[in-house]
Structures are given as C-alpha cells and as structure tokens.
Amino acid sequence: MPELPEVETIKRQLSDKLVGMKILSIELSDKNMRFNPDKTKLKLLSQEKITDLHRRNKYLIVETTNLWLVFHLGMSGQVIVRGCKEDKQKHEHVTITLGKICLSLVDPRRFGGFAIYEKKDTATYEKIELFKNLGIEPFSDEYTLQALKELLKKRKQNIKQFLLDSSNICGIGNIYASEIMFLTKLSPFKSSEKLKPAQINLLYKNITKVLALAIEQGGSSISDFVHVNGQSGKMQDLYKVYSRTGQPCLVCNSIIKKETQAGRSTFFCPSCQK
DNA sequence: GACAATGTTACAGT
DNA sequence: CACTGTAACATTGT
C-alpha cells in the first residue's frame, strides 16, 4: 500500500528504534518476491551495525556499516518490529534478528522485494541499480517549479499517468495522485502539456502539500498498511475523492466518479476538475 | 465465482 | 522513440 508517505512514516519510526543496533542474523522464507537478495551476500549481515535509514521513491533503505538493505512493500507489504520470541507472521519473507527484537517484512501478495548491496560496489544509495530510472524526489532541492514545468512539457501523458510515472516525480501512487488532481481542480484525462502556468503553479504546491499532510497523518491504512508497531495511519479519513465513488463532492456536492485509466481506478469530481 | 486492491514491468499496438 | 492499454505477478476480502 505504500506510497511515499507510508514509506516515509516507516522510515521515521525505524530510525528511532534501530539506529545503533547490531544485526545478528537474517532468515528468508522459501518464497520469492518481485526482487530478491543475492543469497551469497546473506552472511555479510552478521555483526553489521545499523547507522541510518533512508527513503528513495517507495523504497526503504537500511544503511549499515558496509551495506545497503533495500525494502519495497509492493501493494500489501508491512515492515514491522516485533519481539523475536513471538511466532513469525503469516507471509513473513524477511526476518532480521537484532538481539531481542526482529525487523520483519511481511507481504502476502509478494509484489514487494528485498535486496542487499555492498557499499564497496555502490558508494551512495542513490546509485543503486534498482533506482536508475527514478525521477525527482518531491522533497528534494531538485524539485522546483521550473523542473516540473519542463517535465510536463516534455512528456505528453495525461496528467494522471504523469503523476504515477516515477521517472517524472517520485513516490506518488494511485491514492495521492487522485487527491492531488482534485486539489488542483485538474481532470485526470487532461494532457500534461496543456496545463496553464497558474495550474502548474498550483500543481507544484499541491504535490508536496498532499504528501506532507499524509506524512503528518502517519500514512493511510486501508487494508494492509500499519506502522512499525502495528498501529494504523489516519490519512484515509481525510480523502476527498479516493474510494468516495457515488458520494457527494465535499466542495460542490456533485457525485464523485470512478473511471479506469491505464488499468487503475481514478476517482474525481466531474464538476470541480476540468 | 467474479472482481478489485496502496506497485511495477513487459509487451503489443498505434 | 513515445504514448496507451493490457496483462502478469499472488493473495485476500467483498
């Protein structure tokens, strides 16, 4: 479930708990996920100290003295910290033991993944092979009005697909794309090159506004996503259009519509969004 | 049983 | 090359 705000929430919670801890061992389930670690690297984890946590797009990165441990939660993933004496959860595919607590990746649908990279091969995490096609991080200095303007002009996608395409701006998924377009009063079917300067300006602000609010709310817990300690996020209570098909628009009372676009549901107010 | 679900990628067609 | 739509991956819940 995780879009940028969910992964960012997990990252912040893990930073408080894990930095300074030492890894003792790692166990994998016998099922493969979308991407998987080179098994010969598993033994490198023993005695590694966790020094920092990072996020790139929807990937969570645990930095240790010599390694980058990369997690992706797919659609149904959870990264949780639990007592090692507790039983493994159903669909737990990665278990990293850190003394009395364990860091686990649980993912029923297995659209997520886990990988291990050595710093001696990849000096900065930005250079990790998995990240080579990623665009601009919305909370980085690279995210400027000018940069957005150029991307919108260069690409001729409709605006919904533009927002979902992580080679443009990173971290936006199906939920927050709908919310951003509603706030900007943009039809999801509008071509990215046809936006007026005022609309681009508003879109620029609303991308970070929606993502920042979602982070503040601890992300969205719709079906699977939970915090590191198992608690729920609160952003789902603030949706203006996502999953509100048939309900009245909170601005104009028109009925919210759902249509399929590029194989995904898009939610919008046909009267507010032009 | 059918259908849809927070993600990503590959492929066919235009 | 660039864009669009479709399917595929696997599981659960309605």
Query: What integer pLDDT is reported at residue A86 of this predicted model?
Result: 95
Q: At what angle do helices A145-154 and A197-216 cross, to 10 degrees?
A: 110
Average confidence (pLDDT) over A192-197 = 94
Residue A131 banded pLDDT, cuts 50, 70, 90: very high
Nucleotide nearest to A2 (CA to C1'): B6
Q: Which residues of A are identified as catalytic?
A: 2-3, 58, 264
Question: Residue A94, Cβ neighbours under 10 Å: how many?
Answer: 23
- Protein CA at A98 to nucleotide C1' at B3, angstroms: 41
Nucleotides of B under 7 A from a protein CB: 4-9
Closest residue to C5 measured CA to C1′: A262
User: Using one digit for the tens of pLDDT, what is the confidence trace for A54-94?
Assistant: 999 999 999 999 999 999 999 999 999 999 999 999 999 99
Q: Which residue(s) pair with A67 in the sheet?
A: A118
- Protein CA at A35 to nucleotide C1' at B9, angstroms: 12
**Whether A58 CB is under 7 Å from strand B:** yes
Query: What integer pLDDT is reported at residue A141 of this predicted model?
Result: 97
More confident residue, A146 or A156: A146
**Whether A75 CB is under 7 Å from strand B:** yes
For residues A3 and A18, what is the distance between their CA atoms, to the nearest angstrom? 22
Alpha-carbon dihedral sign for residues A18, A107, A170, A240: negative
Show Cβ contacts of residue A132 under 8 Å, excluding neighbours closer than 6 positions: none
Query: What integer pLDDT is reported at residue A262 of this predicted model?
Result: 86
